[in-house]
A and B are shown apart, each in its own frame.
Chain A
Amino acid sequence: MSAVAGFPQAERQRRPALGRLLGSGAVMVTVIYLLLLLVYSLCQKNALSMTQFSDQLSNGLPLALGAAGGTLVVLMRGFDLSVAGVIALADVLTATQAGDGQLGALLCLAMVVGTGLLVGAVNGFLVAYVGLQSIACTLATMIICSGVALLVLDAPGGNVPDFISDNLTGTLLGVPVPLIIALVVLLGWVILRKTNWGVGLYALGADETAARLAGVPVRRVKFLAFCAAGALYGVAGMMLAAATSNGDPGAGTSYLLLVFAAIAIGGTTFTGGRGGLLGSMIGAATLMLLQKVLFSLGVSSFYTGIGQGLIMIAAVLIAALSARLARRMPR
């Protein structure tokens, strides 16, 4: 945006481009991702091939979608732990209830999104309208959803229709379908963040009282954020079932902490009001890529957790340092 005409002195208030770049979490996580990709391409021959890329996208998308949903809640200074429960539930629903063919896939999508919306609506109602703590409520719904997932499918197994597993991990006109899904979500975010609701999310995260004084409908913004987050978790669960070709009622557990790690790496602050979905999704991709890099370096998978934790500390540290640097940039 250029400065509006008639404000000759206004330019001085702009942060310099470098400062703004440093302050942006998405940029930092992209740099980390590219560095990891460089390492990966050096130690793995076909690292940059289309199959590899497509594979990674399929494996990474459930986490990316979960992180995207979680970001909506973190942006307004909340926590949504129900992600683990909803992913597990959507995963086993896809593996047991989905029909074959296009119609089956569409109905399945409607089913998982509906499930996610329902859980999100419960979370949103309890947090926004009853005024309970988001961590406690969403922990409860997470446990409930995990329990329901066990009722639907009591052990790993089930059967994901070929149409779903093939198409969701395949390509469409030469473009990997997971990439298309990710881009659709990002496009939706780009639009939504420019609505009153999107602005309200950031306002709420920065200062709830001030947001209320500015006339932001605080409760509605909160409620809708939990609903949208739930819907994204639902899609994440379906994607997970497609990528693994079976259902696992315990699948969500490993996602719980990784989702928040991806959000942190992506530059969204847990104190609210700063960050975005793009950073979180690239953060998710970074975590998944790290697994591959460590594997191709011959490091035992036992060390994956250590590596992910270290990357997370590095990302949070870089974010804190660059934010400080950006503030100190001369005006």
Chain B
Amino acid sequence: MTKPIVLPNPRLSAQASQVAGTTASLAPYLRAEGLSKAYGATVALSHVSLDVHAGEVHALLGENGAGKSTLVKILSGIVLADQGRLEVDGRPFEPGSLLGARAAGVSTAFQELSLLPNLSVAVNLMLPNLLKGPLGINSARRNEQAAAALLQDFGVTTVDPASLVADLSLAEKQRVEIVRALSHRPRLLVLDEPTAALADPGWLFDIVERLTGEGVAILYISHRLAEVRRLCRRGTVLRNGRSIATVDLTGTPDAEIFRMMVGTSQDEPKHKPMSNRQSIGPRLSAKGLTGRNVHDVSFEVGDGEILGVAALEGQGQRPMFRMLAGLEPMTAGTVRVDNKEADLRSPAAALRSGIGFLPEERKTEGIFLGLKAASNISLPILGRVLWGPFINHRRENAAVAEASQHVDLAKRYQAMRISSLSGGNQQKALLARVLLAGPRNLVLYDPTRGVDVGTKQVIYAAIRNFVDQGGSALIYSTELAELVHLAHRCLVVYGGRIVGDVAGSLLTEDRLVSFATGHGDIAA
């Protein structure tokens, strides 16, 4: 993330301290001060502070990549903070393990469900210390009874403790995950996107109410602001790994919260000259696209157009892009390229149909770490630079040199092993490969993930150049500022459907966030 850090607005800080003042009579149950955590060169958390009182539901708000997951991991004992102080109930809290955190009264219901599918619900709930029978070995009956009692205690009546977790629906798994966190009778409960798979969150709200009545402190993480408002009075906003402010939610309008989450865009004035060419109809069009987590998605991208896709994490954008790339099957719908139905049964077929895909994970899905940058770039055209059965290196290098020009990859890097290049140069090479394959449509999944500002500008220029030549581009980005900056039009995906289609003249981050959090009404 390279967005400039914006200092808290003084008005908000005043508000925050005022909130703190009202509850100052009680010492906070959880106090975090100046927490920092870096993974190699990537700073995940930087001087984050917050406090949660007993009996309080405290919201943790922020965009994807703002550092919420890292904070959850630190609180759960999975990773240790590099710097900063954590106190629970007035005592220093430095859990070295999940069990250590649990022993200190902190337990977490994880977002990426951590249940074991091949074991029964009962075993999952009772691990790691299963109940023993008279023979000293685990008694399935006693574990199931204990699990049944737990489930019933928390009002889960539709799950049989003896059934395998693999046989449960996603919503049932989520309930079991939450019940497991509750079963340790925590004094501080961390709920990470607990309602993502729950159609009816009322069940959870009742539990939260009951727990806070018993004085349990709850840290509540959710993208759904309506839900957060219902449960929480205070919330802390994270952005780019920093705690921006702790606010009184009742006194802060949605727009203000969104603004704090997103930050103010400091990018140069928008560049939006939609090319003047007369559109000859859509280059790439999808009709009724349906598959895993994607429901009836239709859109068109014209030639010369950059169509953005905005979405919060896990709203179906990933399977949608992977379907277009031929990586995931679609169960219904058609995709047409230049009015011809595209064959998307494999990535190779998608490429032949004219769709060039830039994957999400550069290291695992994109580059070949052991090869030279040039070899990484030339892969798709090796068949075109043959001399008999052998590769003609002169022609290969010429093609690589030309493609590298488009992405401004310096010549000296081309001969180097790609693993020794910076992330930005790796991404340039990857984009060069996609361009070299000669697609007419680019499908780019977060093309500037983890690259520096300069590289970003190069990538933007390459994309603009591509569409100016009559191509089309579909771009998903986790950075809304980037979409606002780059796209001519932007779709918003929520829950696997397109919930918004924002034209360029109306494109603002706030509007995208409102749609992306299921608040289309506010944006309208």
Contacts and interface: CB of A to CB of B under 8 A. Distances in A.
Given A14-B163, A203-B119, A216 B128 contact: yes
Contacts of A6: 148, 152, 157
A18 interface: no
A3 B128 contact: no
B138 A195 contact: yes
Contacts of A207: 114, 116-117
Nearest to A331: B167
Nearest to B167: A13
A237 interface: no
A66 interface: no
A68 B78 CA distance: 34
B119 A4 contact: no
A302 interface: no
Contact of B162 (A3, A196, A203): A3
A199 B138 contact: yes
A214 B145 contact: no
Interface in A1-48: 1, 3-4, 6-7, 9-11, 13-15
A4 B162 contact: yes
Interface string B337-349: 0000000000000
A216 B116 CA distance: 11
B110 interface: yes
A57 B391 CA distance: 59
B118 A214 contact: no
B159 A196 contact: no
Nearest to B99: A215
A7 B160 contact: yes
A217 interface: yes
B158 A1 contact: no
Contact residues of B: prevailing secondary structure: loop
Contacts of A279: none
A149 B99 CA distance: 44
Contact of A1 (B135, B137, B144): B144
B160 A4 contact: yes
B386 to A, nearest CB: 37
A230 B251 CA distance: 66
A206 B140 CA distance: 20
Interface string A183-224: 000000001001110111011011101111111110000000
Contacts of A4: 144-145, 148, 160-162
A273 interface: yes
B137 A10 contact: no
Chain B CB within 10 A, most for which of A200, A213, A215: A213
Interface in A152-179: none
A292 interface: no
B124 A214 contact: yes
B306 interface: no
B168 interface: yes
Interface in B132-176: 135, 137-138, 140-141, 144-145, 148, 152, 157-164, 167-168
B181 to A, nearest CB: 11
B137 to A, nearest CB: 4
B159 A10 contact: yes
Interface residues of A, number: 35
Contacts of A194: 137-138, 140
Nearest to B180: A214
B130 A199 contact: yes
A13 B160 contact: yes
Nearest to A215: B128
Contacts of B157: 6-7, 9
B244 interface: no
Contacts of A202: 116, 118-119
B123 interface: yes
B127 interface: yes
A273 B166 CA distance: 12
Interface in B156-209: 157-164, 167-168, 180
Nearest to B117: A206
Contact of B160 (A14, A191, A206, A212): A14
Contacts of B162: 1, 3-4, 10, 14
A179 B130 CA distance: 32
B115 interface: yes
B129 interface: yes
Contacts of A205: 118
A15 B118 contact: no
A1 B328 CA distance: 39
Interface string A292-331: 0000000000000000000000000000000000000001
25 contacts: A4-B160, A10-B158, A10-B163, A11-B160, A13-B163, A13-B167, A14-B167, A15-B167, A196-B129, A199-B127, A202-B118, A202-B119, A203-B119, A207-B116, A207-B117, A210-B114, A211-B116, A213-B78, A213-B98, A213-B114, A214-B115, A214-B128, A215-B99, A215-B127, A215-B128
Interface of B: 78, 98-99, 102, 110, 114-119, 123-124, 127-130, 135, 137-138, 140-141, 144-145, 148, 152, 157-164, 167-168, 180
Which 3 residue pairs spanning A and B have beta carbons closest together?
A: A10-B160, A215-B128, A213-B114
Given A10-B158, A206-B118, 20 more contacts: A1-B141, A1-B144, A1-B162, A3-B160, A3-B162, A4-B161, A7-B148, A7-B157, A7-B158, A11-B160, A13-B167, A191-B137, A194-B140, A200-B128, A202-B118, A205-B118, A206-B119, A209-B114, A215-B129, A216-B127
